Amino acid sequence: MSAPAVGAASAATIPEAPRSLWSDALATLRHNRAAMTAAIILGLLVLLVVFGPLLSDFRYDKPNWDEIAAPPLTQGHLFGTDSLGRDLYTRTLMGGRMSLLVGLVSTLVSLIIGIAWGATAGFLGGRVDRVMMRIVDLLYALPFMFLVILLMVLFGRNILLIFVAIGAINWLDMARIVRGQTLGLKQREFIEAARVSGVKPGRIIAKHIVPNLLGVVVIYVTLTIPQVILVESFLSFLGLGVQEPMTSWGVMVSDGALEMETAPWMLLFPALFLAITLFCFNYLGDGLRDALDPRDRSGR
Amino acid sequence: MSPELLEVKNLNVSFATRDGPVHAVKDLSFQLKPGEVLGIVGESGSGKTQAAMAVLGLMADNGRVSGSIRFEGTELVGMRDTHLREIRGDRIAMVFQDPMTSLNPYLTIGDQMGLVLKEHRGLRGAAAREECTRLLDAVHITDPASRLRMYPHELSGGMRQRVMIATALLCRPALLIADEPTTALDVTVQAQILALMSELRANFGTAILLITHDLGVAAGTCDRLLVMKNGECQEQGPVEEVFHQPKTAYAKKLLAAVPRLDAEATRPPPPVAEPVVRVNNLKVHYRIPQPGLFAPDRTLRALDGVSLELRPGETLGVVGESGSGKSTLARAVLRLVRPTAGRVCLLGRELAQLPEQDLRPSRRDMQLVFQDPLAALDPRMTVGQIIAEPLEVFEPSLASGDVTARVAEAMVQVGLDPEWRNRYPHQFSGGQCQRVGIARALILKPKLLVCDEAVSALDVTVQAQIVSLLLELQAQLKLALIFISHDLAVVRRLSHRVLVMYLGKVMELADADELYRAPKHPYTKALMAAVPIPDPRLERERVKALATGEVPSPLADIRGCVFRSRCPVAFGRCGEEEPGLLTRDKSGVACWLA
């Protein structure tokens, strides 16, 4: 490429407004068909689980002893009923509310705390790093179940506690990953360039470190969301999480697995919803990672 | 059988990529006689390495080779890999650029060399050891028998390259392919390795295919030269013909761009003015903890007592080999590391021991340009954002329209089109990235600009452009410039005065003209002698007083003069007393004989 003649374009006539990583990323994401499809499906799914139960003819918690384990499309039950005769369609949507909420809120909590904690520890280094990471180690050492039971005993049974407990565990992994990445990034010359330019540490973390971490973070988030949804079902199975008649996809899948031979739809529908959701998060995550890395964009 | 050892005809190398095939080598033909040295020169991306890889049959999976490569009468293109492997390493051997990455860190030197002997010559045990010892001796490694038991990391860079060459010669190959064999080495070591290669060619009769970007290296070593650009051969002929009567425009342009040590480049002295920066006896020492409970820490003297002064519009060149403390000097002056002792006075403000927050206001007056142009730019920011960042830090009240205008102004100033500001760094070439780096450094109109090897990673033609840009900007902005480089020829074009460093100390400080005309310190002389001159006639006639050995560890406690161990003229007093820098009129030499 040849350098342009100096003064070829004057400073006054600039056709394009300045762009940023985020606006460019959004534009790239729009062109990613798989990611956009995933995003639309997820959007529809959210609308469905929020408004679907309100419009349903059946209540999610009302047993009907005449129609126990009815197959799909009988008596107006779109997905059939469960072993207590409750409408499976309504229950699947109600379960979706809980699972999506747990998945998103817990992940978001762990994301925010983990990135802030890990990037700060990694960037500042030295004694601060050592103290901050020892706190992480300490929390790691606490048995997860013990923590949950302790919270239950102290505050009583509350769905919010599940968010707190899961978030409290998950951010530790995130913090470790982010710190490791930050240690590598810190050595890079563009960070030194920012220091020479007099940029303060807080701004270096926010403007240089975090955007360069996003690739790894997005991958990790797409792994965390399914994990969190499954942890929730495990807690519920032990009687520490969601309680009957309220439900979640995890609970429905584990209940459905018991009836697999006699009433396969009880497993099929919640599992299908769960699978679709996880697929969508994965595709969206991949798309986001590519969009956030300018080097991956094809075409200029 | 033809008299040619290697005959390459219409060689094409292409790679299948997502964006269609990329043609790395196009229709290349050349011959090589036994014992001849052919140099392939070209800038990065010219396909010179791919051509050599094709000869060795080492292609990436998506690579396709067509044409004909005849070696000792055998056609290599399309040959089965098992047959190729017998030729590779046995009849054709290769030496790579980086001796550290091409040696296995988990094997001793003896084991690695032994593998080759076992594979190709069936030698093992004592016979193999004896053969290895003989070859290490041939490449002038002292105490070869004990080196066989060492691991690669225990050897210095030059020593590792010697081991690589010895390994390559184990089977007495007819052809040695050397891909940038000296690029990763210091000039004094480079000169030693080049001398060694010429000697081995005479002793073993090996033909050498030397791939290099450095025309100086090619001038002194090669018989014939092949100039490549964009995968095509531009010109081919005896080395003197190519250098003295280049036929093609590209060859002429390439030769003109090469900075020369013997060029006349007198720069008028800058006007007398109050110095921008004053550095006094600056020291940076690191404490290196030693293994063992009670072992005392050792001190690494990265920078040990450097003083300098710089006026507006003046350039100070800083030269020295790796480990000489050049970069540490840059970082200490800019306060990226806190000096252990000494003073740094910028525009009358003492910076050396200020805490970071108090220092920040001074940052706008001093800026840095980095060696690796791409690595110094945040990959996730547009170049507009990158250039604007210092402005946003120091003038946060500036309206966004004004920021945009200032960025555009800075981009025009360094020869970039302001319309490119929404692009990302990876979309630019190395030279353009360096322009972005310079624009960022200059947007606040600093008084002091430090260039740390700012043109070392660039091709010669681009290097010449960036150097011209720096000269132009310096004249416009009255910049005080500290220009750090290992390349003495580049430093010459830019500098008013030159500081020669060795092991963290100043060896010589002098006006550029004087230093290049009559170097006083033995180290400066050795450095000058080691720089190859891109002129085959001159280069062959030069009598070189090469420094022996390599830079000692900076951890070593050296009594007396630090250069003593490599100095050809050292005498008794050098080992007892350290010669101070005798300064007369802002120039000085740290040597008892000066």
Q: How far apart are CA A243 and CA A235, in angstroms?
A: 10
Buried b (16+ CB within 10 A) or exposed e, A225-257: bbebbbbbbebbeeebbbeeebbbbbbbbbbbe
* Binding-face residues of A in 182-221 toward B, CB within 8 A: 188-190, 192-200, 203, 207-208, 211-212
What pLDDT score does A299 carry?
Answer: 39
**Top mean-pLDDT range of A92-96, A178-182, B113-117:** A178-182
**pLDDT tens column, B308-352:** 889 999 999 999 888 888 889 999 999 998 999 999 999 888 988
Inter-chain touch A15–B419, beta carbons under 8 Å: yes
Q: What is the DSSP letter of B564?
A: G
Which has the closest alpha carbon to B178: B159, B157, B164? B164
**pLDDT tens column, A7-66:** 333 444 444 666 777 788 888 888 888 889 999 999 999 999 888 888 887 787 777 777
Contact by Cβ (8 Å): B196, B27: no
| Cα of B377 vs its chain's centroid, Å | 21
Inter-chain touch B426–A196, beta carbons under 8 Å: no
| Residues of chain B scoring pLDDT < 70 | 1-2, 264-266, 543-545, 582-585
Inter-chain touch A9–B412, beta carbons under 8 Å: yes
Q: How far apart are CA B350 and CA B28, in angstroms?
A: 60
* CA distance to partner chain B, nearest, from residue A293 (Å): 7
What pLDDT score does A101 carry?
Answer: 87
A225/B contact by beta carbon, under 8 A: no
Q: How far apart are CA B531 and CA B34, in angstroms?
A: 28
B25 burial via Cβ count (<10 Å: 0-12, 13-18, 19+): buried
Inter-chain touch A3–B465, beta carbons under 8 Å: yes
Contact by Cβ (8 Å): A88, A267: no
Q: Tokens representing B362?
A: 């001074």
Inter-chain touch B363–A196, beta carbons under 8 Å: yes
B423/A contact by beta carbon, under 8 A: yes
Contact by Cβ (8 Å): A82, A88: yes
Q: Tokens representing B456?
A: 């070392």
Q: How far apart are CA B83 and CA B86, in angstroms?
A: 5
Sheet of B277-288: strand order equals B298-310, B277-288, B341-346, B349-350
Report the helix count and the strand count for chain A, using DSSP H and E: 11, 0
Domain boundaries, chain A: 22-296
What pLDDT score does A9 carry?
Answer: 39
* CA distance to partner chain A, nearest, from residue B321 (Å): 21
Q: How far apart are CA B330 and CA B499, in angstroms?
A: 13
Q: What is the 3-state secondary structure (H, E, C) of A193-226?
A: HHHHCCCCHHHHHHHHHHHHHHHHHHHHHHHHHH
Q: How far apart are CA B217 and CA B226, in angstroms?
A: 14
What pLDDT score does B283 carry?
Answer: 92
Inter-chain touch A190–B378, beta carbons under 8 Å: yes
What does the DSSP assignment read for B275-291?
Answer: -SEEEEEEEEEEEEPPS
Q: Tokens representing B520?
A: 């006083």
What pLDDT score does A162 carry?
Answer: 77
Bridge partners, B12 (sequence order): B66
Contact by Cβ (8 Å): B36, B207: yes
What pLDDT score does B154 carry?
Answer: 83
Q: How far apart are CA B204 and CA B191, in angstroms?
A: 20
How many CB atoms within 10 Å of residue B67?
16
User: Which of B361, B389, B422 shows the shortest C-beta gap to A197?
Assistant: B389
What pLDDT score does A16 carry?
Answer: 60
Q: What is the DSSP letter of B121?
A: H
Q: How many CB pairs under 8 A join A and B?
A: 128
B365 burial via Cβ count (<10 Å: 0-12, 13-18, 19+): middle
Torsion from C-alpha of A145, A147, A150, A152, nearest 10 degrees: -70
Inter-chain touch B404–A200, beta carbons under 8 Å: no
| Lowest-confidence pick of A115-119, A240-244, B30-34, B456-460 | A240-244
What pLDDT score does A300 carry?
Answer: 34
What pLDDT score does A3 carry?
Answer: 41
Q: How far apart are CA B344 and CA B338, in angstroms?
A: 11
Q: Residues of A with CB below 8 A from B385's CB?
A: 18, 20
What pLDDT score does A104 carry?
Answer: 85
Contact by Cβ (8 Å): B210, B4: no
Contact by Cβ (8 Å): A200, B387: no
Q: What is the largest CA-CA distance in chain A?
A: 85
The question of ipTM being above 0.85 is answered as: no
SS3 B146: helix
* Residue reference for tokens 């089109």: B417
Pairing between β-strand B497-502 and β-strand B480-485 as defined by DSSP bridges: unpaired
Ordered domains of chain B (ranges, CATH): 35-64+80-254 (3.40.50.300), 277-589 (3.40.50.300)
End-to-end CA distance of chain B: 60
User: Which of A16, A18, A199 shows the shortest C-beta gap to B389?
Assistant: A199
Predicted confidence (pLDDT) at residue A294 exceeds the cutoff of 70 = yes
Contact by Cβ (8 Å): B175, B205: no
Which has the closest alpha carbon to A63: A37, A43, A85, A35? A85
Interface test with A, best of B378, B393, B452 (most A CBs within 10 A): B378
Interface test with B, best of A187, A190, A209, A218 (most B CBs within 10 A): A190
Q: Tokens representing B448?
A: 């002091």
Bridge partners, B25 (sequence order): B13
Q: How far apart are CA A110 and CA A47, in angstroms?
A: 25
Kindly report the CATH number that applies to the domain delimited by A22-296: 1.10.3720.10
Predicted confidence (pLDDT) at residue A160 exceeds the cutoff of 90 = no
Pairing between β-strand B315-319 and β-strand B480-485 as defined by DSSP bridges: parallel
* CA distance to partner chain B, nearest, from residue A267 (Å): 43
B579/A contact by beta carbon, under 8 A: no
Inter-chain touch A193–B336, beta carbons under 8 Å: no
What pLDDT score does B1 carry?
Answer: 44
What pLDDT score does A296 carry?
Answer: 62
Report the helix count and the strand count for chain B, using DSSP H and E: 20, 22
What pLDDT score does B78 carry?
Answer: 83
Percent of chain A at pLDDT > 70 equals 92
* Predicted model pTM: 0.82
